Structure 1
Amino acid sequence: MTTPKPAPPRTPPPSPSARVAALFDRVAHTYESVGVPWFVPIAEGLVAAVAPQPGEHVVDLGCGRGAALVPLATAVGPDGRVVGADLSPRMVALAAERVAELGLTNVELSVMDASAPSLPAGEADVVVASLVVFFLPRPAEALAAWTALLRPGGRLGISTFAGRDDAWRRLDDLFTPYLPPMMLDARTSGESGPFASDAGVEGLLIGAGLDGVTTTHADVVVRFADVDAWVTWSQSHGQRAMWDQVPADAGAGLREQAAAILDGVRTGDGDAALTQQVRYTVGRAPAAA
């Protein structure tokens, strides 16, 4: 009688953090570098909302290639300090190149999971996270960890999506038939859970122990000469994960439908324009007793 061979050990699926790191490692070389300003204007709005001052110590979680990192470092000046952290090693490497090119000497960079940053508690004057918190599996726990990094009276600011125009929504809906359940979480678009309203996001910050929580908004417009420009841009950041789910024989049809949507929102200069409203939510750590 032949003894059956034992089944090979099953390789466990990658953790959510590992999947996110792998995705952003893949897109790091194109991230905010395809001629469509997106992450930089959003991050600049967040920096303005938290108003960093010369000499302050700032933490930038999910720093990417430095969209917020650079204006933060400029604002706090040579007497200040900015710590940037990102889960993607490639993003951190490219951010470091940018910092070196600009000659910024007040920036430190680390590969780190924003969900549970391994940084000293109670030392930061400002903590920011631009378009990060809705990707995290437990946003409330992450915000509590971020609040713990602040000095008494320090500020925490996040950016999230407050809503898209109809054309943008229809473009995103083109991917829906191909997405697995795990990718149908509408938190990222600001259409479900606490991220569906200003009050919901403010409640997260209040629940993390922050006081004086306020919200402001800004409309960010992106423009595309044609559908090819939109495809290149949408594959240059986290939406690449959605493209990866589209079968090869369905890609051409999706592009054709996208072209029709974009043609319907062309402006006087011929470009197609899409508008996303961005929400900036800021709170303060309680003052020392």
Structure 2
Amino acid sequence: MSDKAEVIFKTKAVFNAASDYFDAPALSFWGRFGQATIDKLSFQGGESVLDVCCGSGASALPAARAVGTSGSVVGVDLAESLLELGRNKAKQQGLENIEFRCADFENLGFPDESFDAIVCVFGIFFVPDMSAALQELLRMLRPGGKLAITSWGQKVFEPANGEFWSAIQTERPDLYKSFTPWDRISTSAELKALLESSGATQVEVFPESCTHELTAAEDWWTMVLGGGIRGIIDQLKPAVRERIRQGNLEFLRQNQIGSLEVDVLYAIARKAEI
């Protein structure tokens, strides 16, 4: 299996597995950061939008609302189980201007200049060659169109995340940081440089440092099961998994941690006018 095929297989498996917790209240940050991404695009109505790595619709659904009935949104993801969640939410919200497709966004086959805006929230880092992937997105974007890329910053749900990886290093050092591709673009400078080197213009990065509130220590473990490190958990023996879970929750309780620090990077760029 090629490196690219292996990453696609692993990412698809992780998020299909994570779908059972993906929309749990403890993971409300998906919707929060997805909405914030769409807000920064300042849609006027009537735009055609492609949302790649759309998950269960955290940014695709707000985009559909923002562009209105005269606009349209196509959401693409590898995880069919997440797409089904998105379809159900679109139906519940009465959104008829959105469709969800299971596909690899690097091989969608849309004609050049098909969309007014393209969105990728917490997804571009899963692709081995991020620059090539961005060039493909820019190909599908009309001249002057907007490209929104959202990524994690240097703090990702700390200090719980650090405690989790410390426990993994103790229990299974072979799995320590074995699948954290978001670390490749965790600063504003790195994200801006990536976009500019891929051909995007007028790149602006808006860093945000915020907190995610926990209603109980158990929320953290729900977040672990519903996110990108689910694949690590699924490789652990039940006894090891339970030790790590108990240790993480005890750490949060003993230190009376009720909120987690998280850094998010929002990048808005344009495709050069012809």
TM-score if structure 1 supplies the norm length? 0.85
- Cα separation, 1, equivalents of 2:175 and 2:216: 31
Equivalent positions of 1:71-86 (< 5 A) are 71-86=62-77
- Cα separation, 2, equivalents of 1:276 and 1:115: 29
Helix, strand or coil at the partner of 2:113: coil
Q: Deviations over 1:17-47 (max 9, x none)?
A: 1232222222223212244411111111111
Matched, 1:273 2:259: yes
1:244 counterpart (231, 234, 243)? 234
Identity across aligned pairs (percent)? 22
- Cα separation, 1, equivalents of 2:50 and 2:63: 9
- Residue 163 of structure 2 corresponds to 171
- Residue 144 of structure 1 corresponds to 135
Matched, 1:132 2:137: no
- Residue 7 of structure 2 corresponds to 16
CA contact 1:170–1:261 (8 Å) conserved in 2: no
From the CA coordinates, give the structure whose radius of gyration is larger: 1
Q: Which has the higher helix share?
A: 2
Note closer, same or farther for the CA distance 1:132–1:176 as it changes in structure 2 (3 Å cut): farther
Which amino acid is 2:259 matched to?
A: A
Deviation at 1:264, TM superposition (A): 5.3
- Residue 181 of structure 2 corresponds to 187
Deviation at 1:12, TM superposition (A): 10
Helix, strand or coil at the partner of 2:261: strand
**Residue correspondences, number:** 270
- Residue 197 of structure 1 corresponds to 187
Deviation at 1:117, TM superposition (A): 3.0
- Cα separation, 2, equivalents of 1:112 and 1:18: 12
- Residue 4 of structure 1 corresponds to none
CA contact 2:83–2:102 (8 Å) conserved in 1: yes
- Residue 29 of structure 1 corresponds to 20
Note closer, same or farther for the CA distance 1:143–1:96 as it changes in structure 2 (3 Å cut): same
- Give RMSD over aligned pairs: 2.4
CA contact 1:152–1:287 (8 Å) conserved in 2: yes
Which amino acid is 1:31 matched to?
A: F
Note closer, same or farther for the CA distance 1:34–1:196 as it changes in structure 2 (3 Å cut): closer
- Cα separation, 1, equivalents of 2:153 and 2:7: 24
Matched, 1:123 2:117: no
Q: Which of 63-72 and 97-106 deviates more? A: 97-106
Q: Which of 93-102 and 58-67 deviates more? A: 93-102
Deviation at 1:255, TM superposition (A): 2.5
Helix, strand or coil at the partner of 1:15: helix
Unaligned runs of 5+ in 2: none
Equivalent positions of 1:209-248 (< 5 A) are 209-248=199-238
Q: Which of 232-241 and 127-136 deviates more? A: 232-241
Note closer, same or farther for the CA distance 1:255–1:93 as it changes in structure 2 (3 Å cut): closer
Q: Which of 102-111 and 72-81 deviates more? A: 102-111
- Residue 55 of structure 2 corresponds to 64
- Cα separation, 2, equivalents of 1:185 and 1:248: 20
Note closer, same or farther for the CA distance 1:232–1:182 as it changes in structure 2 (3 Å cut): closer
Which amino acid is 2:130 matched to?
A: P
1:94 counterpart (85, 107, 119)? 85
Q: Which of 25-34 and 13-22 deviates more? A: 13-22
Helix, strand or coil at the partner of 2:108: coil
Note closer, same or farther for the CA distance 1:261–1:65 as it changes in structure 2 (3 Å cut): same
- Residue 252 of structure 2 corresponds to 262
TM-score if structure 2 supplies the norm length? 0.89
